[in-house]
């Protein structure tokens, strides 16, 4: 099966698609740093760093089955983004570029991924419109909200998948697995780091402690992207008061005087991960001050990537803030693999 990914970001969906056997010929991504990360990790894929609105032709032909996939910008649909979850936000309309490329190429399958908020934005208006437009192209469409933690990803993260099949056979979503992966199983073999670490490559701390960490390590002897945001002394002092699974509410009020009204902080701020459970959502984990379960510091890029289920051979490029954003925006590869496995093996 031959694939094209648009709105690719760093390429989490492409990693999952490749694991399932999809050969990705082309990727389109506007952000310079995300496109660099994508091209570095997918050297056999043509990576176009450009605005999707300027994409006009498919630069290859194939007789194999084809699939178009991608996730149009989702910030406007996020449940935490009340200000721009409406019809007026221009980015909320970029899904029309996805529809345009699907019409241009007419692949056998289309996979459109987005945040759960798409179900609720404008009372489901955008979801209904997307499905209608894909059906108008001749596709049999179905959709479902999937929780990454039920597909081998050590993170409680919900993503919406809209699947279209041109042969009208329909699609049955993969069934969730019962075994969840904990933070301990996911990251405990990674290097011990300090606040503000800028070590690109380091040896592992110990041998793999789980089948998950063994799988993501593969044959690697060392691991990259051991970068941690350097927090101030006052922030580190706040971290010390927070137990596993706790948040800002455990911080003494005297340490929060710089907040205008700290009681209005949401529950995801200053959250320390629980070793024995899957992680909370790895979104903007730097801004949210997501805390390592046993060390008083933020998460490294590699730790966040592990919690997203990126294999250790995958390297993120750009400045630290760009790498953090790329990880947080990505579709967990193992979740994507579960979806693509079903498509690739369909009759």
* DSSP strand pairing (66-70 vs 2-6): parallel
Share of the chain above pLDDT 90, in %: 80
Q: How far apart are CA 166 and CA 189, in angstroms?
A: 44
Q: Between these two residues, 147 and 85, which has the higher pLDDT value?
A: 147
Higher-pLDDT residue of 185 and 168 is 185
pLDDT digits (tens, 9 = 90+) for 190-243: 999 999 999 999 999 999 999 999 999 999 999 999 999 999 999 999 999 999
Q: Three-state DSSP class for 81? A: coil
Out of 3.30.460.80, 3.90.120.10, 3.30.300.30, 3.40.50.300, select the CATH number for domain 183-320.
3.90.120.10
**What class is the 2-178+330-344 domain?**
alpha beta
Residue 88 pLDDT grade (very low, low, confident, very high; cuts 50, 70, 90): low
Q: What is the pLDDT of residue 126?
A: 84
Q: What is the pLDDT of residue 135?
A: 95
- Give the ranges where the chain is alpha helix by DSSP (H): 12-19, 32-41, 95-105, 125-136, 183-187, 211-217, 233-239, 301-307, 320-329, 333-344
- Token representation of residue 246: 């706790």
Give just the sign of the alpha carbon dihedral 156, 157, 162, 168.
Answer: negative
Reported as a single tens digit per residue, the pLDDT across 130-170 is 999 999 999 999 999 999 999 999 999 999 999 999 986 77
- Candidates 167, 291, 176; CA nearest to 238 is 291
Please tell me the predicted confidence (pLDDT) of residue 264: 66
Sheet holding 140-147, edge to edge: 46-49, 23-29, 2-6, 66-70, 109-115, 158-165, 140-147
Q: Active site includes 265?
A: no
Span 235-262, average pLDDT: 90
pLDDT beyond 90 at 177: no
Q: Between the CA of residue 23 and those of 39, 108, 252, 325, 336, what are the distances in Å?
A: 14, 14, 53, 26, 14
- The confidence score (pLDDT) of residue 164 equals 96
Catalytically annotated residue among 74, 134, 141, 187: 74
SS3 content of the chain, % helix, strand, coil (to 5): 35, 20, 50
Contacts with 347 (C-beta within 8 Å, 6 or more apart), sequence order: 169
Task: Determine the average pLDDT of the residues in 259-283.
Answer: 85
Q: What pLDDT does 71 receive?
A: 92
- The pTM (predicted TM-score) of the whole model is 0.93
Reading the block at residue 313, the tokens are 């051979």
CA-derived radius of gyration, the chain: 20
Please tell me the predicted confidence (pLDDT) of residue 176: 94
- The b/e string for 208-236 (b: 16+ C-beta within 10 A; e otherwise) is eebebbeebbeeeeebbbbbbbebeeebb
Sign of CA dihedral 241, 242, 248, 250: negative
Q: Give CA–CA dist 118/126, Å, rounded.
A: 7
Q: How much is the pLDDT for 91?
A: 62
Q: Is the pLDDT of residue 310 over 90?
A: yes
Strands 140-147 and 158-165: antiparallel
pLDDT value, residue 213: 97
pLDDT band at 285 (very low <50, low <70, confident <90, very high): confident
* Residues 44, 166: Cα–Cα separation, whole Å: 27
Average pLDDT over residues 104-121: 90
Sign for the pseudo-dihedral over CA of 49, 335, 136, 118: negative
Whether residue 106 has pLDDT greater than 50 = yes
Q: Which two tokens stand for residue 308?
A: 């997203």
Q: Domain residue spans in the chain?
A: 2-178+330-344, 183-320
Query: How many CA within 13 A on the CB side of residue 99?
Result: 17
- What distance in Å separates the CA atoms of residue 261 and residue 67, rounded to the nearest whole number? 49
State how far the Cα of 157 lies from the Cα of 305, in Å rounded to an integer: 14
Over range 290-300, report the average pLDDT. 97
- pLDDT for res 112: 96
pLDDT at 81 over 80: no
């Amino acid at each position: 099966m031959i694939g094209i990914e648009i709105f690719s970001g760093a390429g989490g969906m492409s990693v999952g698609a490749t694991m399932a056997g999809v050969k990705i010929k082309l990727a389109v991504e506007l952000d310079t740093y995300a496109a660099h990360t994508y091209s570095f990790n997918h050297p056999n894929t043509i990576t176009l760093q450009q605005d999707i609105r300027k994409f006009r032709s498919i630069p290859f032909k194939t007789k194999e089955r084809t699939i178009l996939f991608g996730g149009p910008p989702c910030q406007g649909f996020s449940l935490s983004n009340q200000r721009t979850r409406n019809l007026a936000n221009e980015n909320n309309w970029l899904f029309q570029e996805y529809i345009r490329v699907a019409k241009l190429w007419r692949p056998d399958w289309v996979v459109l991924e987005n945040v759960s908020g798409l179900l609720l934005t404008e009372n489901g208006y955008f979801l209904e419109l997307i499905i209608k437009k894909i059906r108008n192209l001749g596709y049999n469409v179905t959709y479902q909200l999937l929780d990454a933690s039920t597909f081998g990803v050590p993170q409680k993260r919900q993503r919406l998948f809209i699947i279209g099949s041109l042969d009208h056979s329909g699609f049955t979503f993969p069934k969730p697995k019962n075994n969840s992966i904990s933070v301990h199983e996911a990251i405990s073999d990674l290097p011990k780091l300090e606040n503000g670490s800028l070590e690109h490559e380091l040896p592992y701390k110990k041998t793999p402690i789980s089948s998950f960490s063994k799988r993501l390590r593969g044959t690697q002897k060392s691991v990259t992207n051991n970068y941690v945001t350097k927090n101030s002394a006052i922030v580190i002092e706040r971290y010390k008061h927070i137990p596993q699974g706790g948040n800002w509410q455990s911080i003494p009020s005297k340490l929060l005087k710089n907040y205008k009204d700290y009681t209005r902080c949401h529950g995801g701020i200053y959250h320390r991960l629980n070793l024995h459970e899957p992680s909370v959502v790895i979104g903007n984990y730097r801004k949210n001050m997501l805390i390592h379960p046993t060390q008083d510091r933020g998460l490294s890029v590699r730790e966040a990537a592990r919690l997203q289920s990126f294999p250790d051979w995958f390297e993120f490029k750009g400045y630290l803030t760009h790498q953090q954003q790329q990880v947080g925006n990505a579709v967990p590869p193992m979740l994507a693999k579960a979806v693509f496995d079903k498509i690739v093996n369909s009759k």
